[in-house]
Amino acid sequence: MPPANPTSKKPLDIVVKFALWVFVGSFALIWGGMYLSRPDRSIPPYTVGSQSGHFVATYVPRDTQDDQLEQLVKRFRKVAHHTRDFGPMKIYPTTAGDPGGRYRQIVIYVFDDHLKTEPEVLAKYLKGDPGVAKDYEHSMRGYYRLLDQDEDGGVGPIPQDGNRFSDTRILFKGLVTDPLPVEPEPEPGISISPL
């Protein structure tokens, strides 16, 4: 038997090869999972603070711009037109058990103050508490309302009984069966992907 050459490399042991594959595969799975579960960056991040019947109080970060709010309200509209299933948008059924659908009626208020979305505050507002109502309405950053077939949405406080606030900008008003206008897709936010 010839003497072993001290400069020649020994092949890697099968256990070492397997460990390297597990190591690399783990990172590939983690990156793939993060990429596939990344948040939708075409709308601002929002959280459902409370829900009472078909009234839903949500909040967005304080630095959310009006154009971002507009995209969020339009997303609610798009969901209503396509599936009428707000479950993936973190909203519980508002008309559960109704033969007309689980989301036949929904009113979504958007705030940038999470204290306004507390269940107690929403309950006082819905009861008509005058000490809460005025401040609650003026603090609204946006809204979406769907009542059977009628829908409207805007940036600013929600109009009440046909009266509109001066700082309310109505984005749309009509029937949920009307065709959606063709709009360019918003620019995506910063991606977490290294590619």
pLDDT at 193 over 80: no
Are 116 and 136 in contact by the 8 Å Cβ rule? The answer is yes
Query: 18-27, pLDDT tens digit by residue?
Result: 999 999 999 8
Q: Output DSSP code: residue 23.
A: H
Are 55 and 111 in contact by the 8 Å Cβ rule? The answer is no
Are 69 and 142 in contact by the 8 Å Cβ rule? The answer is yes
Q: Helix count (H) and strand count (E) of the chain?
A: 4, 6
In DSSP terms, 173 is beta-bridged to 152
Q: Which of 57-61, 152-156, 175-179, 183-187 has the lowest mean pLDDT?
A: 183-187
Which parts of the chain fold into alpha helices (H)?
Answer: 14-36, 66-82, 119-127, 130-139
What would the mean pLDDT of 126-134 be, rounded to a whole number? Answer: 90
Q: Output DSSP code: residue 13.
A: P
